[in-house]
């Protein structure tokens, strides 16, 4: 079995979708072009799927479910280990493809866009060594069973990573899977499907239908034979998924937007930590749901903080994503570029001051969706740029009076996905972090942990991914009274 793939240089044209262990034509007749973020040229195409494709994929997943759910944990684990090995073997190719699709420079793409998915699949596999699928509570035996057929709708910013966050947990739990990857950055998902085909995952356990959210995504969310839908994307789209899924009372997990606050306490080393805060905002050119886009600094040191932030932003290099290096690449699309430009203008219109960057493209980068790394000062938390997710390299700097005021401002948001606290006193930083209404907080630069639960409070969604929590998400409990 193999995909009908035509490759001319970097061009990847995929003409089939993956259902029941076979590459098959879509019932739809349309195609979707994939655009290279750095060159603005077409780099591939995919089928534009239709609801009948989803019906076939769900039927295959339903047929495969009982067998996969009853497969011994050790056997499921072996498949997952092989998937990790195959992902590693094609990591350079995956990084190159995602660098083109998304715009993340190749150096970062190798580490993050290719490295994290493989690491996460292995993490899920390793967790099965000791994961408890049953426990005794009094006279009851409580068993944890796979929720069933999972429909996954994934985003474009960390495309393969977000697929594996869901797929790894679902496979470990014993669920079967129907994927709709982002139509903006889908080529990496075809590489994954090729890998799954080569590894020999049983037919129907993994299925993939490509297409748009309003067509394929909607069909997945509404499908009566899908037991759970797991969605990562914008809050607006997540609300629609939840509303459509409610018609069949299926389980829903949502990982949505963020407007994360990074609190710099007055005893922090500003020269050392503010540039790190810039990085926490600008990674992947700001196209990160957990980006620390609101920097909260003491009013007593506001001008000093803005000057350091502006200097750090001004030192950020912007360049071709195909080049090696630690620079920033472009945004993913013209639509995203226009969105970010409109937010910068909105900030100025509402009284913010451009301390670094600003409107337009960086000099020498007229081709590609490049944006100037930007810092907006004189921002208050009621401004649009402080409340809405921009999804670009735009940092807003907000002043606060004391620790209580910083916490109040941090929590004054519809979102609650991530955040940060910096202090010369670790205990003080932890105390502030505990008061932040958000799913994760980096304390003094604590590193990302793929085994820790990931998910949000408030309109950043519900449900958790990664680690044992990422397996639990795809399980339901049954009690047997003995």
Percent of the chain at pLDDT exceeding 90: 97
Strand 5-8 and strand 134-137: pairing?
unpaired
Out of 24-28, 215-219, 284-288, 320-324, pick the least confident.
320-324
Residues 138 and 23 in one domain: yes
Domain assignment present for residue 372? The answer is yes
Domain assignment present for residue 454? The answer is no
Domain assignment present for residue 281? The answer is yes
C-beta neighbour count of 481 within 10 angstroms: 7
| pLDDT value of position 282 | 98
| 9 pLDDT higher than 60 | no
Residues 276 and 414 in one domain: yes
Residues 299 and 181 in one domain: no
| 345 pLDDT higher than 60 | yes
| pLDDT value of position 349 | 98
Taking CA atoms, 37 is separated from 48, 102, 362, 389, 390, in Å, by: 20, 6, 15, 21, 18
Category of 351 on φ-ψ map: left (φ > 0), alpha (ψ -120 to 50) or beta: left
Domain assignment present for residue 240? The answer is yes
Q: Residue 61 — very low, low, confident or very high, per pLDDT cuts 50/70/90?
A: very high
If you average pLDDT over residues 78-88, what whole number do you get? 98
| 7 pLDDT higher than 60 | no
| pLDDT value of position 1 | 33
H/E run at residue 53: helix 51-69
| pLDDT value of position 211 | 98
Which of 289, 389, 465, 473 is labelled catalytic?
Answer: 289
Residues 40 and 128 in one domain: yes
Q: What is the DSSP letter of 328?
A: B
- Mean pLDDT rounded to a whole number for the chain: 96
Q: What is the DSSP string of 91-117?
A: HHHHHHHHHHHH---HHHIIIIIIHHH
Instruction: Extract the tokens encoding 224.
Output: 């009566």
Q: Is the dihedral of CA 238, 242, 245, 249 positive or negative?
A: positive
Q: What is the DSSP letter of 351?
A: T
Q: Residue 353 — very low, low, confident or very high, per pLDDT cuts 50/70/90?
A: very high
Say if residues 242 and 234 touch (Cβ distance below 8 Å).
Answer: no
Residues 30 and 120 in one domain: yes
Residues near 342 by Cβ (< 8 Å), separated by ≥ 6? none
Question: 154: closest CA among 112, 198, 184?
Answer: 184
Residues 311 and 425 in one domain: yes
SS3 396: strand
Q: What are phi and psi of 138, to 5 degrees?
A: 60, -125
Residues 394 and 362 in one domain: yes
Q: Judge whether 289 counts as a catalytic residue.
A: yes
Residues near 8 by Cβ (< 8 Å), separated by ≥ 6? none
Strand 251-255 and strand 461-462: pairing?
antiparallel
| pLDDT value of position 189 | 98
Strand 140-146 and strand 42-48: pairing?
unpaired
Question: 232: closest CA among 460, 473, 415?
Answer: 460
Residues 163 and 109 in one domain: yes
H/E run at residue 85: helix 73-89
| 5 pLDDT higher than 80 | no
Residues 237 and 284 in one domain: no
Residues 352 and 389 in one domain: yes
Spatial separation of the C-alpha atoms in residues 363 and 20, rounded to whole Å: 49
Domain assignment present for residue 455? The answer is no
Residues 333 and 203 in one domain: no
| pLDDT value of position 10 | 64
Residue 214 sits in a domain whose CATH number is: 3.40.605.10
If you average pLDDT over residues 9-25, what whole number do you get? 91
Residues 278 and 323 in one domain: yes
Domain assignment present for residue 64? The answer is yes
Domain assignment present for residue 223? The answer is yes
| pLDDT value of position 355 | 98
Q: Residue 11 — very low, low, confident or very high, per pLDDT cuts 50/70/90?
A: confident
| pLDDT value of position 368 | 95
Spatial separation of the C-alpha atoms in residues 112 and 107, rounded to whole Å: 9
Strand partners, 399: 297
If you average pLDDT over residues 319-344, what whole number do you get? 96
Say if residues 203 and 226 touch (Cβ distance below 8 Å).
Answer: no
Q: Tens digits of per-residue pLDDT, 439-474?
A: 999 999 999 999 999 999 999 999 999 999 999 999
If you average pLDDT over residues 300-325, what whole number do you get? 96
Domain assignment present for residue 436? The answer is yes
Residue 410 sits in a domain whose CATH number is: 3.40.309.10
| 2 pLDDT higher than 60 | no
Q: Residue 8 — very low, low, confident or very high, per pLDDT cuts 50/70/90?
A: very low
Which of 255, 389, 465, 473 is labelled catalytic?
Answer: 255
The predicted model scores a pTM of 0.96
Q: Judge whether 281 counts as a catalytic residue.
A: no
Domain that residue 467 falls in: 5-256+460-481
Q: Tens digits of per-residue pLDDT, 356-380?
A: 999 999 999 999 999 999 999 999 9
Domain count, the chain: 2
If you average pLDDT over residues 216-239, what whole number do you get? 97
Spatial separation of the C-alpha atoms in residues 296 and 274, rounded to whole Å: 10
Say if residues 327 and 321 touch (Cβ distance below 8 Å).
Answer: no
| 224 pLDDT higher than 60 | yes
């Amino acid at each position: 079995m193999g995909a009908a793939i035509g490759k001319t240089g970097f061009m990847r044209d995929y003409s089939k979708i993956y259902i029941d262990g076979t590459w098959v034509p879509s019932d739809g007749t349309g195609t979707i072009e994939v655009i290279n973020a750095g060159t603005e040229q077409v780099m591939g195409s995919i089928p534009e799927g239709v609801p009948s494709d989803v019906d076939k994929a769900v039927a295959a997943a339903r047929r495969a479910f009982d067998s996969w759910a009853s497969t011994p944990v050790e056997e499921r684990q072996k498949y997952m280990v092989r998937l990790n090995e195959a992902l590693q073997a094609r990591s350079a190719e995956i990084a190159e493809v995602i660098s083109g699709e998304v715009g993340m420079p190749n150096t970062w793409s190798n580490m993050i866009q290719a490295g994290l998915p493989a690491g996460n699949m292995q993490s899920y596999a390793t967790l099965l060594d000791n994961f408890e699928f049953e426990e005794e509570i009094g006279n009851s035996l409580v068993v944890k069973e796979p929720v069933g057929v999972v429909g996954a709708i994934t985003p474009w910013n960390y495309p393969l990573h977000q697929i594996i966050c869901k797929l790894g947990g679902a496979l470990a739990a014993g669920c079967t899977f129907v994927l709709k990857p982002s139509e903006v950055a889908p080529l990496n998902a075809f590489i994954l499907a090729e890998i799954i085909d080569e590894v020999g995952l049983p037919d129907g356990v993994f299925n993939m239908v490509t297409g748009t959210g309003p067509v394929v995504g909607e069909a997945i969310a509404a499908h009566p034979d899908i037991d759970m839908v797991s969605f990562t994307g914008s809050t607006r789209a997540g609300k629609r998924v939840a509303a459509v899924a409610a018609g069949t009372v299926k389980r829903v997990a949502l990982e949505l937007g963020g407007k994360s606050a990074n609190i710099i306490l007055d005893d922090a080393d500003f020269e050392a930590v503010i540039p790190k805060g810039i990085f926490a905002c600008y990674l992947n050119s700001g196209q990160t749901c957990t980006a620390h886009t609101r920097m909260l600094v003491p009013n007593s040191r506001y001008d000093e903080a803005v000057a350091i932030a502006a200097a750090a932003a001004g030192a950020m290099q912007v360049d071709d994503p195909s080049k090696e290096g630690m620079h920033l690449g472009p945004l993913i699309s013209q639509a995203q570029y226009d969105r970010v430009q409109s937010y910068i203008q909105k900030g100025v219109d509402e009284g913010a001051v451009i301390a670094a960057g600003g409107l337009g493209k960086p000099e020498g980068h007229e081709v590609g969706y490049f944006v100037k790394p930007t810092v907006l000062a004189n921002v208050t938390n009621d401004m649009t740029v402080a409340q809405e997710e921009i999804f670009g390299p735009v940092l807003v700097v907000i002043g606060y009076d004391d620790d209580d005021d910083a916490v109040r401002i941090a929590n004054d948001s519809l979102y609650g996905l991530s955040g940060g606290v910096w202090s010369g006193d670790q205990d003080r930083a932890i105390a502030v972090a505990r008061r932040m209404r958000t799913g994760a907080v980096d304390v003094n630069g604590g590193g990302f942990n793929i085994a820790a639960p990931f998910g949000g409070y408030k309109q950043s969604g519900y449900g958790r991914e990664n680690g044992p929590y990422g397996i639990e998400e795809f399980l339901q409990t049954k009690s047997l009274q003995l």
